Amino acid sequence: MKFLDLAKVTIRSGSGGNGCVSFRREKFVEYGGPDGGDGGSGGDVWAEVVPALNTLIDFRYQQHFFAGNGRPGMGSQRTGKDGDDIVLKVPQGTEILDVDGETVIADLTTIGEKVLLAKGGNGGWGNLRFKTSTNQSPRKGNPGQEGVEREIWLRLKLIADAGLAGLPNAGKSTFLAATSNARPKIADYPFTTLHPNLGVVGIDQREFVLADIPGLIEGASEGRGLGDQFLGHIERCAVLLHLVDGTSEDVAEDFRIIDHELELYSEVVYDKPRIVGLNKIDALMDEEIAEKRAALEEASGGRVYLLSGATGKGVTEVLRALWAEISAQRAEAAAEGDDESWQP
């Protein structure tokens, strides 16, 4: 299945049916008069989160979603049939944006969550509605209300507990493959990863979801390389694992490049808790490891974990550090939820 995380679609709710102008005329029936029914309401347009979806690829092949129109009213006080609703089935973590690409209409993060995107038009009144003591034979009915047509953007932000960041070939995909059942493409050239990958990681009988995004390069915020188009997938993460290639000549500069690109992209992402790991230590001598670790600690201003995704050395310590951040934030969110639900 191809991965697509951004799609533009056109939606239109149904128009209401016209009210009917009709009069009762039956032989041997003493009282006649108006009996026109109301028009049916137009169908609504909804978006709903469904399980087992992790891409917006369906919206590449269908970009127009039109709800059904209401049927007109009929004689004998018969109301027209309502138009059929239409539902856009989206994966968990989908943001719905207005046509400007910035205004958030809805952020759908829970399975089964449903939001109304366009309300169908009301049906028009039949002439029976206009009957009064002074106007017992009204000859007018209302037209149905027009539906709403609009263009919207669907943007998928994968829901993961932790996210991987780093330059191309920093070993992110190798780390994901070593710690989960995910099988991302791994090769010895840059930009092996072309779309985000998710994996479920287990540590100390606990599980969390880890997201691997394509590598960033200097100038990604300006569109270089794959740009920063995939950084949205780590906006929901509780913690970032910043991997630095230990075989690089200047690990401190590699750290600063990614650090700067994250800052340019979003303060929300930049301010997230971050764990820094010096990867590929299996290819280094002890003296090189000590020297590069010191340089990286000076650049990051914090602890640097030593690991090798290929051999598994140091991976457990990194996973425990990630879980500590994740569990702390989960506990904080649960406490805030309890506070909000408590009523004095």
* pLDDT tens digits, 282-296: 988 999 999 999 999
Phi (first) and psi of residue 119, to 5 degrees: -85, 135
Dihedral sign for Cα atoms in the order 52, 54, 57, 58: positive
Please give the pLDDT value at position 146.
Answer: 95
Q: Based on the domain organization, do 135 and 176 belong to the same domain? A: no
Annotated binding site for Mg(2+): 173, 193
Residues 49-68 have pLDDT tens digits of 998 887 888 898 899 999 99
Per-residue model confidence (pLDDT) at position 178: 86
pLDDT at 201: 87
Please give the structure tokens belonging to residue 73.
Answer: 């009213």
Domain presence at residue 280: yes
pTM of the prediction? 0.73
pLDDT in tens, 10-49: 999 999 999 999 998 777 777 778 999 999 999 999 999 9
pLDDT score for 222 = 58
Q: At what angle do helices 251-265 and 286-300 cross, to 10 degrees?
A: 30
Binding-site annotation, residues for GTP: 166-173, 191-195, 212-215, 279-282, 308-310
Which amino acids are annotated as binding site, given as ranges?
A: 166-173, 191-195, 212-215, 279-282, 308-310
What's the pLDDT score for residue 202?
A: 87
3-state SS, residue 334: helix
User: Contact 19/156 with Cβ under 8 angstroms?
Assistant: no
Q: Are residues 46 and 137 located together in one domain of the fold?
A: yes
Whether 302 has a pLDDT exceeding 80, the answer reads yes
Assess if residue 1 is contained within a domain.
no
Query: 92-144: per-residue pLDDT in tens?
Result: 889 999 999 889 999 998 899 999 999 999 999 999 999 988 888 899 999 99
Per-residue pLDDT, averaged over 268-275, amounts to: 88
- What CATH number is associated with residue 86? 2.70.210.12
- Among residues 115, 132, 156, the one where a domain terminates is 156
